[in-house]
Chain A
């Protein structure tokens, strides 16, 4: 493992510690007493005091903080009040559906976005390219939940091709995937077009052409590979959108993932579950950025982290 990789992973550990601390600060110092929130409306003062004692909220902040970090490291995120199970086990059951949704969305965006971006760069004046680029502007202006609603109206309610909502086989993934992927697809296509256009003007492309390589070899081997760097960077920047999108879209389609659990937890005032899921979303975002940083060396041989 290179020094860069080790340094980058150490940075991740630092970031993780800081975000755990930030969550502690946000959840403990926000106005409103968590014990009151958890006890719910109509609880007596004695019940609130009991909860406050059980949660160590009557102890000094420093003691609470150390206990919070220690528990988090052990994987003890508290008990979910609505599921009456440990938060971690609730989250564990919700992660696979969400990962599946994120993977299909990202996959769709890349598989359709990269080729259409390349076509738009190579044949900028063709009707197909112009139409694709026009469509990306529209995709960037439609919120994912609105697209989801329209898909649901068309494909589930009117045409009855797909189930309107729920979790299960791959068929339940179709509409949520399209709804999340649309914006990402537009961004991937635009970024691909811009960076391929730029690279096609480079000297080494002329060299490759001069030594007689075919157009497609040049495009794939010499142009597309370095063009992946801005694309991957863009995907990293959109990681937050991807994760946030899963929350909205899972809720819309009643898809039993992490995001839907988070919204339920908020409405059930399930304090620890909200906190735990927030922690996992932030961790996911940090991980996406780690992978993006580490992937740069894959795409451009000139980048070597020593």
Chain B
């Protein structure tokens, strides 16, 4: 499907995108965070849970690059492990949302009818809740913890994703080549999986990176409010709670977890913009 041989259209597209510094930076940031998240247990310099009160609140130094927190734990190690925690929560939440929204969107958009109206009404209803309010309500009922946060991310991400997929299916299903496939006697299943699904993939992937940056905002906000991932498990948001107590004395407690959140969101946003340009057929033939 995507041929990357030299001289192909896609290859030239990648070259064109790679020349834009912002897009390259976005890709590098996202890939970097994924690597750190995946390899966290092997790349942490020190045990992120070991407390040593004799070295509490030490500023950044050669032995602790990011300094230490109020319990003497190595901040760099905690920030790295937090990357793994945050990325896992976001990936699981968005993954579940994709598993929920894709089949529903395909079926509702393709077959329309009563099922479409019911599912769309349910998704519209969920969209009337500000996402953080819905997340807080869910967490207050399910109890705080990783699984509740994953559920909250999944349930706040699925409705907008469903709406996008459904509207793309509505557009694509009315195109001539779908009509042609139908005339050739293709089954509904074949039309949906072979003719519609591949063509909505690009836009959906772009939108998912955007939802990813929303999700990381919700996860860290919940953590910061004390309703998300619970300490001692490090998470960028919950690390900032203790940072507030030591604002004037230990700014590194705010700066490093904060910088991670900013860089991750920045990376996702830049990467998403680049992907959108890459997958936009209208931009394909521009020099």
What is A's interface to B at a CB cutoff of 8 Å?
15, 18-19, 22, 26-27, 30-32, 137-138, 140-143, 145-146, 149-150, 152-153, 157-158, 239-241, 243-245, 247-248, 251-252, 262-263, 266-267, 274, 278, 281-282, 285-286
Contact B132 A146 (CB under 8 A): no
Once the chains are docked, how many angstroms separate the CA of A285 from the CA of B221? 19
Q: Could you write out 29 A-B pairs with CB less than 8 Å apart?
A: A18-B121, A18-B128, A22-B125, A22-B126, A26-B137, A26-B141, A27-B137, A30-B142, A31-B142, A32-B142, A141-B263, A145-B220, A146-B261, A149-B240, A149-B244, A153-B251, A240-B130, A240-B131, A244-B133, A244-B221, A245-B132, A248-B132, A248-B224, A248-B225, A252-B244, A266-B140, A281-B129, A282-B128, A282-B133
Q: Which residues of A contact B121 (CB under 8 A)?
A: 18
B227 CB-CB contact with A under 8 Å = yes
Q: 10 closest A-B pairs (Cβ-Cβ)?
A: A244-B132, A240-B130, A157-B248, A30-B141, A141-B266, A266-B140, A141-B265, A243-B130, A281-B133, A146-B258
Contact A140 B269 (CB under 8 A): yes
B56 CB-CB contact with A under 8 Å = no
Q: Which residues of A contact B132 (CB under 8 A)?
A: 240, 243-245, 247-248
Taking A143-B221, A149-B247 as contacts, is the C-beta distance between A239 and B130 under 8 angstroms?
yes
Contact B247 A278 (CB under 8 A): no
Once the chains are docked, how many angstroms separate the CA of A282 from the CA of B133? 8
Contact B247 A153 (CB under 8 A): yes
Q: Which residues of A contact B133 (CB under 8 A)?
A: 240, 243-244, 247, 262, 278, 281-282
B139 CB-CB contact with A under 8 Å = yes
Chain B: minimal CB distance from A214 (Å): 36
Question: Which residue on A lies nearest to B214, using beta carbons?
Answer: A241
Contact B125 A19 (CB under 8 A): yes
**Secondary structure dominating the interface of A:** helix
Question: Which residue on B lies nearest to A271, using beta carbons?
Answer: B140
What is B's interface to A at a CB cutoff of 8 Å?
121, 125-126, 128-133, 136-143, 213, 217, 220-221, 224-227, 237, 240, 243-244, 247-248, 251, 254, 258, 261-263, 265-266, 269
The residue that A285 contacts in the complex, of B129, B225, B261, with Cβ under 8 A, is: B129
Question: Which residue on B lies nearest to A240, using beta carbons?
Answer: B130
Once the chains are docked, how many angstroms separate the CA of A146 from the CA of B239? 11
Taking A153-B254, A248-B132, A281-B133 as contacts, is the C-beta distance between A145 and B266 under 8 angstroms?
no
Question: Which residue on B lies nearest to A242, using beta carbons?
Answer: B130
Taking A153-B247, A157-B247, A266-B227 as contacts, is the C-beta distance between A286 and B128 under 8 angstroms?
yes
Contact A278 B261 (CB under 8 A): no
Contact A263 B136 (CB under 8 A): yes
Contact B128 A149 (CB under 8 A): no
Contact A143 B129 (CB under 8 A): no
Contact B240 A146 (CB under 8 A): yes
Contact B137 A150 (CB under 8 A): no
Chain B: minimal CB distance from A86 (Å): 20
Once the chains are docked, how many angstroms separate the CA of A60 from the CA of B6? 69
Chain A: minimal CB distance from B7 (Å): 34
Taking A26-B137, A141-B265, A150-B258 as contacts, is the C-beta distance between A18 and B125 under 8 angstroms?
yes
Q: Which residues of A contact B261 (CB under 8 A)?
A: 143, 146
Q: Which residues of B contact A15 (CB under 8 A)?
A: 128
Question: Which residue on B lies nearest to A239, using beta carbons?
Answer: B130
Once the chains are docked, how many angstroms separate the CA of A15 from the CA of B136? 21
Contact A141 B248 (CB under 8 A): no
Question: Which residue on A lies nearest to B243, using beta carbons?
Answer: A149
Q: Which residues of A contact B247 (CB under 8 A)?
A: 149, 152-153, 157
Q: Which residues of B contact A262 (CB under 8 A)?
A: 133, 136
Known contacts A145-B224, A285-B130; can you find 15 more A-B pairs with CB under 8 A?
A15-B128, A19-B125, A31-B142, A141-B265, A141-B266, A143-B220, A143-B221, A153-B254, A240-B129, A240-B133, A241-B130, A247-B136, A248-B225, A266-B227, A274-B136
Chain A: minimal CB distance from B3 (Å): 33
Chain B: minimal CB distance from A49 (Å): 21
Once the chains are docked, how many angstroms separate the CA of A244 from the CA of B130? 6
Q: Which residues of A contact B136 (CB under 8 A)?
A: 247, 262-263, 266, 274, 278
Contact B217 A143 (CB under 8 A): yes
Once the chains are docked, how many angstroms separate the CA of A264 from the CA of B280? 46
Once the chains are docked, how many angstroms separate the CA of A31 from the CA of B213? 29
Contact A266 B139 (CB under 8 A): yes
Chain A: minimal CB distance from B149 (Å): 14
Contact A263 B225 (CB under 8 A): yes
Once the chains are docked, how many angstroms separate the CA of A11 from the CA of B244? 44
Chain A: minimal CB distance from B254 (Å): 5
Contact A274 B137 (CB under 8 A): yes
Question: Which residue on B lies nearest to A19, using beta carbons?
Answer: B128
Q: Which residues of B contact A158 (CB under 8 A)?
A: 248
Question: Which residue on B lies nearest to A284, using beta carbons?
Answer: B130
Q: Which residues of B contact A145 (CB under 8 A)?
A: 220-221, 224, 237, 240
